A and B are shown apart, each in its own frame.
Chain A
């Protein structure tokens, strides 16, 4: 059960956010005997609470605090108040996620070196050797129970996959399978095998999909070393005259504010809230925000180059049946500038229910061109495109002082412009995706624009040189030794792969570092 720590206890590690990064870090530290207080803005929802209904589930779990958008991305026009799909709940966005779990390719850890200079992009090499990640990736795959890794079998292919696979093979693609998924293909780790219910995005009611909410978090709590305080929204990180952080101010469910003391603070609120919190914690000593001597806090916001391709056939597909994303084509994930862009992309099966399809197929669309597409909903197949986008300094999270959240704090503004490389890659992927479906007789195809960001990355980037980024190779901020970043905002570059496996591997690695440094009393 929860170990109650005193607000005045300054020996604890405070973790802000309990998603892929924070939830895993909390458990890993607790397993090592470190005392942890994890503060989570959202409430606690477990499989019995999840709802097999797209909008109801969205209302239950999504982060809906005020946010604004700018830039040339279409999301700013179609969903101006909803730049990102992020969960506010214990377990964070691992309740919503689809479970696709891929390792980075070696060359992606060193994008600046391997891609060379790209005009307008702030590419940088990760200060991590890919070989150093091998063991951590294996640990992460074991933790998540990733299929097609270790001795775990792949998932069976559903209808949507079968169409996708046949098209891919007809086109000559060879790396096509049902994915490496953090979804059980057999009962494993006290979790059931997938029952193919088809609501992976709404929280898996069978617990077949890994989520921190019902794995790492309760396991950490069971040690007695982890206390998770839910509906505890952190407003500010405090520091002393020596520039070390000393604790955090948070609002509880009733809006009452408390100060939780800390020996170490780890920020894991996802890539919009994490930089926002550092910026909102500005003081006379750190007028530009905490850990921001480089000026990089909030910059280099990445969201992956994304898009979808849907296709209609003359016969039923019923793509909504079964796993949402268990299908992948990896042939295009290589770096091959002869295609007209650097980096690569993955094609992954994707199904939306009718309500989300109506909202996202062609946002703002109406009339028969739109409705005849939905008339064929039963005959539709779908895929998602996810590729490496270029970090750009001007794509960034800033404080919007004209819009306040429920606590009176400036809301984050998310600015994003596509880089020409992103556009070239998206056009290539649309063409290939449509060709996949054309190859098996699609009667109509839809190159669908990106949704609000599900992969939010890079806004507290990792760098060798403190001038270039916010954190070092351990996620420790260059400026403040006892302040860490533990989520996807550490990403130096985004790679082509869905990010969560890497976020988890980095969190396991960071736990080793923090525990060791605490043991040596250097923190």
Chain B
């Protein structure tokens, strides 16, 4: 990961950041997993905005066995001068929608079903559709994600599956 803060101990990292939802922390100029196994610098977005975006990405395509880091990579491209205004506005609207339902903010909405309810309310917006559409490749086309689903990817260099189990099913 492009971890500008990599190398910090967990304690150091946590001391420089505040919690954003259940599993993320934000500090000045970075977002990190609260286990401190990864951190990502942000240049154009507010760190809190990026943290909300990562949570939103997970809520759109929730896979409990896929770590936040992969969702962070999937949306990292929005941390650009071009995209930042659109993302800041979209996330601000998301927080407003969360507040409209009595929550402090989107990431402070504890239950996934309540966050999904908020997302349902904006599901036809250009912002939501841009984020969702981008994730289809942003998340599922990460080669490091594939093994988490069992998918084996490229096989030519290994000689295909002719001798590696193309017909190894044993329960049918």
Contacts and interface: CB of A to CB of B under 8 A. Distances in A.
Interface string B147-162: 0011111111101111
Contact of A359 (B60, B137, B151, B171): B137
B65 interface: yes
A197 B162 CA distance: 7
B161 A52 contact: no
A244 interface: no
Given A318-B150, A375-B65, A55 B166 contact: no
Contacts of A320: 151-152
Nearest to A51: B154
Interface in A180-231: 194-199, 205-206
Main secondary structure of the interface of A (DSSP, over half): loop
Contacts of B167: 156-159, 162, 322
B155 A52 contact: yes
Contact of B165 (A166, A194, A195, A318): A318
Given A368-B62, A374-B63, A206 B140 contact: no
B137 A367 contact: no
Nearest to B152: A320
B28 interface: no
Interface string A332-361: 000000000000000000000111011100
A20 interface: no
Contact of A196 (B65, B146, B152, B162): B162
Contacts of B155: 52, 197-199, 321
Interface in A352-409: 353-355, 357-359, 364, 366-368, 370-371, 374-375, 377-378
A368 B165 CA distance: 31
Given A55-B141, A159-B166, A321-B161, A197 B171 contact: no
B172 interface: yes
A318 B169 CA distance: 8
A197 B156 contact: yes
Nearest to B112: A368
Contacts of A55: 137, 141
Contacts of B157: 52
Nearest to A374: B149
B158 to A, nearest CB: 9
A377 B151 contact: yes
Contact of B150 (A163, A316, A366): A316
Nearest to A364: B132
Contact of B172 (A162, A318, A375): A162
A368 to B, nearest CB: 6
A492 B144 CA distance: 47
Contacts of A133: none
29 contacts: A52-B154, A52-B157, A55-B137, A156-B166, A158-B167, A162-B169, A163-B169, A196-B160, A196-B162, A196-B166, A198-B161, A205-B156, A316-B169, A317-B169, A318-B152, A318-B168, A322-B161, A353-B153, A354-B140, A354-B146, A355-B137, A359-B136, A366-B60, A367-B62, A371-B63, A374-B63, A374-B140, A377-B149, A378-B150
Interface of B: 60-63, 65, 116, 132, 136-137, 139-141, 145-146, 149-157, 159-162, 164-169, 171-172
Interface of A: 52-53, 55, 156-159, 162-163, 166, 194-199, 205-206, 315-318, 320-322, 353-355, 357-359, 364, 366-368, 370-371, 374-375, 377-378, 440
